[in-house]
């Protein structure tokens, strides 16, 4: 059920980003636009308590969008503020030691477990400030608060018919909480892209309450309008 909820949130978020994109594409090409949408691939590392639970490298994606709430005195000079919404998905393989510890704590349910993985989803609302730089670039900082989903899936050897997957799902646990995030990045706007930007970004997510031991540090590279 939690997985289906994440799927619905992802579809809703994508629809909102497409609506923003339709409005944005009607504008004149500038270094910085009055509204923005983006998509990127990410490479992330887990920190905090989860540093001991997962391998130090997970792949995922992020998407976001927003609109300006202040304008620059001159186009492509000075700074302006945005309100942005961001979605992140990331997945990690669990360490063997962590899987063994989980089996010890729940032997009746996980005795046949061979591996496990963790997946994270986050939706945040982030006030962001952008500073125009020379040579068609801008620097930005942002941070905010939102929702974090942390799921753990355990897999074991499949003893069923050959038509079934080679690894069967034994159990899945999930937790939901708030999350704080903070990030910075650089936009590059080459003239040949006609208003589109290439960006790179670093961000930190830190969970609260039941997910207070979860900290993610994704590095992303993507395209933004």
- In three state form, how does the secondary structure of 25-81 look? CCCCCCCCCCEEEEEEEEEEEEEEHHHHCECCCEEEEEEEEEEECCCCCCCCCCEEE
Q: Which residues contact 120 (CB under 8 A, 6 or more apart)?
A: 60, 88, 89, 90, 91, 92, 148, 149, 150, 151, 205, 214, 216
Other residues' Cβ atoms within 10 Å of the Cβ of residue 1: 6
- On average, the pLDDT of the chain sits at 83
Select the more confidently predicted residue: 196 or 205: 205
Q: Whole-model pTM?
A: 0.80
Write out pLDDT tens, residues 73-113: 666 678 899 999 999 999 999 998 888 888 788 877 777 78
Lowest mean pLDDT among 7-11, 157-161, 166-170, 181-185: 157-161
Domains belonging to the chain, first-starting first, are: 2-224 (2.40.160.20)
Taking residues 155-172, report their average pLDDT.
57
Going by pLDDT thresholds of 50, 70 and 90, the confidence category of residue 16 is: low
In this predicted structure, what is the pLDDT of residue 181? 98
| Confidence check: pLDDT of 23 > 90 | no
Cα 124 from chain centre:
9
pLDDT value of residue 166: 47
């Amino acid at each position: 059920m939690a997985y289906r909820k994440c799927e619905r949130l992802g579809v809703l978020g994508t629809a909102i980003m497409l609506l923003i994109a339709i409005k944005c594409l009607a504008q004149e090409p500038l270094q910085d636009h009055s509204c923005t949408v983006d998509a990127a691939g990410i490479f992330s590392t887990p920190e905090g308590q989860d540093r001991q639970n997962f391998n130090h490298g997970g792949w995922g994606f992020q998407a976001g969008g927003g609109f300006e709430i202040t304008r620059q005195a001159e186009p492509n000079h000075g700074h302006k503020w945005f309100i942005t919404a961001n979605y992140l998905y990331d997945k990690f393989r669990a360490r063997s030691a962590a899987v063994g510890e989980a089996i010890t704590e729940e032997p009746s349910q996980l005795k046949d477990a061979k591996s496990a993985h963790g997946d994270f989803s986050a939706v945040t609302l982030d006030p962001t400030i952008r500073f125009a730089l020379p040579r068609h670039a801008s620097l930005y900082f942002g941070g905010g608060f939102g929702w974090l989903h942390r799921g753990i899936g355990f897999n074991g050897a499949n003893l069923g018919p050959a038509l079934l997957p080679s690894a069967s799902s034994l159990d899945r646990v999930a937790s939901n909480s708030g999350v704080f995030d903070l990030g910075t990045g650089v936009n590059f706007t080459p003239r040949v892209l006609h208003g589109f930007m290439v960006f790179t970004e670093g961000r930190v997510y830190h969970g609260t309450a039941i997910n207070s031991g979860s900290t993610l540090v994704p590095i992303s590279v993507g395209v933004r309008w």
